[in-house]
Amino acid sequence: MSNHTASREFIASRESVASRESEVSLAELRGDCARMAPHWAAPKKAVTTPVKPSLIHGVTVPPSSARLIDAMSDYGD
């Protein structure tokens, strides 16, 4: 089998998969998700307490990173 023929078969196979994927209904997708959900149960949230700034030691931030964060509207403004 030549590479050219193999390429055409691969493309035809991918098109068949893509066609099937577009036919999947929302109900099927939701069912799949419901069956998978127990496999990835989230761990219970740990209770955290804020750390006093006076207890934070030895943290250094490179100037380029500080400028980047300063330029972000969520942090710098």
Question: What does 35-48 look like in DSSP terms, one character per residue?
Answer: HHGGGGPPPPPPP-
Q: Which two tokens stand for residue 70?
A: 């300063």
* pLDDT for position 44: 83
pLDDT value at 1 more than 60: no
pLDDT value at 76 more than 60: no
Structurally, the chain folds into a number of domains equal to: 1
* pLDDT for position 75: 61
* pLDDT for position 45: 85
Buried b (16+ CB within 10 A) or exposed e, 21-49: eeeeeeeeeeeeeeeeeeeeeeeeeeeee
> Beta-carbon neighbour count of residue 68 at 10 Å?
13
Tens digits of residue pLDDT in 2-56: 555 666 776 666 666 656 666 778 888 888 888 887 777 777 888 888 989 888 8
Per the structure, the complete domain to which residue 35 belongs is given by 3-76
